[in-house]
Structure 1
Amino acid sequence: MIDRRRFVLASVAALLPAGASAAWRLRQPAPQTVDYGPAKLDIYAREGAKGDPVVFFIHGGAWRIGNRNNVNAKPGFLLARGFLFVSIDYRMLPKADVAAQAGDVEKAYAYVRANIASYGGDPDRIVVMGHSAGCHLAALTGLRGGLPGVAALVLDDTEAYDIEALARAQGGRLRPIYAQAFSDPGQWRALSPATYIGMAKHPPVFVAYSNPPIRATAAHDFADRLRTAGNKVTLFDGSAYSHMAINRRFGEDGDALTAAVMAFLKATVT
């Protein structure tokens, strides 16, 4: 007779990316789910945590799909290294536009900053990390001052740092995935993270990009502008990764991006 539990675990394992940690597959921690107002967030905390630094994660999905469960190996990996981990939902297109989504991120962050100490986290050592659309939202909210006291930003792969420049690079109009999210050119400047460079002192920023050349160009330009304004920036060449792999592989054994992010976190919050 087939053991159903073993069969399910084996089936799930077959779908995981090569090199994923077996320890993570077996010991992914269970989160505590909280309703912060517009949506929900999950808080992953190790037993006995006290004053741990926090990674606050914003998922991707073209501002239209995805949810807080899209975390791969991140919770187990980070908890094992002394961090708390938070993953948030935010309202999706077309129910909420990108401006409303940025507001959701700021509300979720405010909730976490006010309450994370009761879960064993340090509200003064919160790192906001995002991938794809979540990367854009992390950069936008972090640079415009919507994440007060944020310790650092980890920005994992987007083209949407400067929407006007992106439109110019794409022949005067945005590709469909961006045109759907940024349909009103009158909002492009307000929704571009680069607009806010130099308006205040920004936290240390880690910028990673994947293999499409347009992402490398956008990331280099953004990093250069931050540095010129006197900000600390770490730029990671992720041209060996696809857009999905640069997020999915975080926490895997031997992953180069993971090592670079952890070195950045050690230098900023640990």
Structure 2
Amino acid sequence: MIDRRSFIVAALAALLPPGASAAGRPGQPEPQTLDYGPAKLDIYAPAGAKNLPVVFFVHGGAWRFGKRSQIGSKPDFLLANGFVFVSIDYRMLPEADVATQAGDVEKAYAYVRANIARHGGDPDRIVGMGHSAGCHLVALTGMRGGLPGVAALILDDTRAYDLAALSRNGGMVRAYARVFSDPKQWAALSPSSYVDGKKHPPTFIAYSRAPGRGEESKAFAERLRATGTKVTLFDGSAYTHMSINGDFGEDGDALTAAALAFLKATVA
């Protein structure tokens, strides 16, 4: 998402035809597509699903690119393991700023919570999951209480947990600086601003070997742990920023195994 190569990959992925995944998987189960207001979302459910836990996924793409269809093996894997899977679109820059995008995520979540039972999901066992920009949006909305009743969070590789600290540490590179151009908004758009003073849902935090990911993720994890929140920190330094998302659901993938263990311990 942040380096030039990742920007190009995200931009090319966004040009895939509707319904195509970033991995181009022809056998992917067909979703039910619904309109939640600002955008659309896809619900994937096993045949005969009833009261299953739900993974609510927010894609990445530098807050500018991406589609809900870019999900690789996630639906196949999660449905096979007894979950309903939801992937959402949200409005992108420059049409919608990050604050508006966070509002879209909260509206999509509210829609899913109100309607998922009719698709075989349990509204009290929804796990928010996001990668890259989607990771930031899930962390932000989850920490500030915008996902009421969310059972757990899976945060997959961002540096945007604390924007002021990111700037102090030299991490406000051009890609971030273009998105978060107004320092007056940094506190409101930083997940870390909402951590202190209360316990949060169990949180799984993964980081890749991309610059700064480990340091920022560890700092955020420690801040969460200080509130009594149960945190699982996954060292994904064997992954690139793209593969830590793209490999999810693949046979033998270490992150997938760790995330599944977390899911089973929290909502299964």
Distance 1:247 1:213 in 2: 16
Cα deviation 1:45-93 (Å, max 9, x = unaligned): 1110000000000000000000101100000110011100000000000
Distance 1:34 1:128 in 2: 18
Equivalent residues in 2 for 1:104-119 (5 A)?
104-119=104-119
Secondary structure of the corresponding residue to residue 212 of structure 2: helix
Cα deviation 1:124-154 (Å, max 9, x = unaligned): 0000000000000000000000000000000
Instruction: Tell me the equivalent position of 1:124.
Output: 124
Instruction: Tell me which amino acid in the other structure corresponds to 1:209.
Output: Y
Cα deviation 1:17-50 (Å, max 9, x = unaligned): 9xxxxxxx45310000011000000000111000
Cα deviation 1:164-203 (Å, max 9, x = unaligned): 00001117xx211111111110000000000101243210
**What residue ranges of structure 1 are gaps of 5+ in the alignment?**
1-11, 18-24
Instruction: Tell me the equivalent position of 2:182.
Output: 184
Which has the larger displacement, 218-227 or 205-214? 205-214
Distance 2:85 2:210 in 1: 29
Q: TM-score, normalised by structure 2?
A: 0.90
Distance 1:139 1:199 in 2: 16
Instruction: Tell me the equivalent position of 2:3.
Output: none
Equivalent residues in 2 for 1:117-156 (5 A)?
117-156=117-156
CA contact under 8 A between 2:198 and 2:227: conserved in structure 1?
no
Give aligned-pair identity as a percent.
Answer: 71
Question: How many equivalent pairs are there?
Answer: 248
Distance 2:147 2:86 in 1: 15
Counterpart pick for 2:226 among 225, 228, 236: 228
Secondary structure of the corresponding residue to residue 34 of structure 2: strand
CA contact under 8 A between 2:57 and 2:130: conserved in structure 1?
yes
Counterpart pick for 1:202 among 200, 203, 212: 200
**What residue ranges of structure 2 are gaps of 5+ in the alignment?**
1-19
Instruction: Tell me the equivalent position of 1:5.
Output: none
Secondary structure of the corresponding residue to residue 27 of structure 1: coil
Secondary structure of the corresponding residue to residue 41 of structure 1: strand
Distance 1:27 1:221 in 2: 40
Cα deviation 1:175-233 (Å, max 9, x = unaligned): 11111111110000000000101243210000000002411000000000000111100
Secondary structure of the corresponding residue to residue 78 of structure 1: helix
Instruction: Tell me the equivalent position of 1:219.
Output: 217
Which has the larger displacement, 224-233 or 238-247? 224-233
Instruction: Tell me which amino acid in the other structure corresponds to 2:139.
Output: A
Distance 2:194 2:26 in 1: 43
CA contact under 8 A between 2:197 and 2:227: conserved in structure 1?
no
Query: Is 1:266 matched up with 2:267?
Result: no
Distance 2:236 2:121 in 1: 30
Instruction: Tell me the equivalent position of 1:4.
Output: none
Q: TM-score, normalised by structure 1?
A: 0.89
Distance 1:93 1:199 in 2: 32
Runs of 4+ aligned residues of structure 1 deviating over 3 Å after TM superposition are none
Secondary structure of the corresponding residue to residue 30 of structure 2: coil
Instruction: Tell me the equivalent position of 2:16.
Output: none
Instruction: Tell me the equivalent position of 2:4.
Output: none
Q: State the Cα distance separating 1:16 from its structure 2 match.
A: 5.1
Secondary structure of the corresponding residue to residue 175 of structure 2: helix
Instruction: Tell me the equivalent position of 2:33.
Output: 33
Instruction: Tell me which amino acid in the other structure corresponds to 2:71.
Output: V
